[in-house]
Structure 1
Amino acid sequence: MSTFSERIRNGVITENPIFVQVLAMCPTLAVTSSVVDAAGMGMASTVVLIGSNVIISLIRKLVPDKIRIPAYITVIATFVTLIQFLLAGFVPSLYKSLGIFIPLIVVNCVILGRAESFAGKNKVFPSLFDAIGMGLGFTIALVILGSIRELLGAGSILGFKVFGNSFEPAIMMVLAPGAFITLGILMALLNQRSINKTNKVNYKIAHFHEIDPVTGECTGCGSCAHSCKR
């Protein structure tokens, strides 16, 4: 259970593929004009990621090192083809909306990167949990971007109007510039939060004092301009 929670946290927060590692920018910027498209791409990529991670982990000792990348791509392409057929058969509207970005999941650097850096070196269950975590992180990031862009660019979420008739949608938000602006602002806010957290920890460390129980003087930080009394 600890491995599961660790891999989930890693994918969603610590090493989020979009906000932290800045991977898969092509689908991130292209399909997040609406929540439906963003969620659809995220879930499709997650299914491919889970399937490919599990299979690659199972065959990791059977694949010669020299051909591991072509072998990984073949496995990924197999799952992408299955997802493509399923979407075309059961969700044709989403299939049409995502278009070329469904087959392009084959070269999604998040999926190939996890195959190379994790699934190809670890057992099945850790690889499965890693895929779930990274898939969730990728999907959540896409949905956040899609929600903001659809809300500001169309005044609605999932087709339901949020603002009144007097609201003037910012059409730019559902176009390419809106994708760059939204992603940039979100990454700036997250980075600033991380910097503030790091500075707070460093401040506490720098101002940590240990009081000598005998003399009552500070013996901890060594940078005091005066002796700290109890």
Structure 2
Amino acid sequence: MKDALKAALTKKNIIGNTLLFVGIIGYILLFGALFGQNNILIGVSTITAMLMLLERDLTIHPIANTVKFAGLNLLTGIAAFATGFSVWGAIPIHFVMMFIISYTLIFNLKNPLYLPFSLQYLFLLAIPVTAEDLPLRLTGLVVGAVSIMALQMIVNKKRISKNADPIIKSICSSLLEKMDKKVSGESGAEMDTAIRKSVGSLRSMIYDQREEDYYLTEE
């Protein structure tokens, strides 16, 4: 029974990873077909950002987040283009851009979310475009930002209700079990770690759904 279950899970993982790989390659190739080979690396950085940001639920402010990512992408595109005019002018532009990217995305310390956007900026520097091709590149950058939020709306739209409900039930069941142990004279301390972990997961989901400037205390 265990071997059959393990084989089923392995098969499911293989199919899931294969579909994910096909989706990644398909998106990159489609991006290159639409915006040219000079901009295909934008598709690479975009798909990386899409997958990394899936761990956060950004659907509570879809428009604001889309504008945020689009603005950041446009800024990197314009800055990378501007560096081609002067070597000395490029130095402060690089410094300012890396600061903006890091400052904007450093809110999450669990994953380096600044990495795909930093790589994207480096890609833009490595493959410069002319003024005639700049509008197409900027359009690709905007489409990349929209793609990030589109995947968020597909995957994370009802994430808190789907994932939080089982966690709440698990917390309540664990607390009831601990109370029963207390009543029977047992300590129940071994359950504290699991309860804290579940509460931490729930708090993380709520934190992603917070309103602007809303702070969750430890309590």
TM-score normalised according to structure 2 size: 0.41
TM-score normalised according to structure 1 size: 0.40
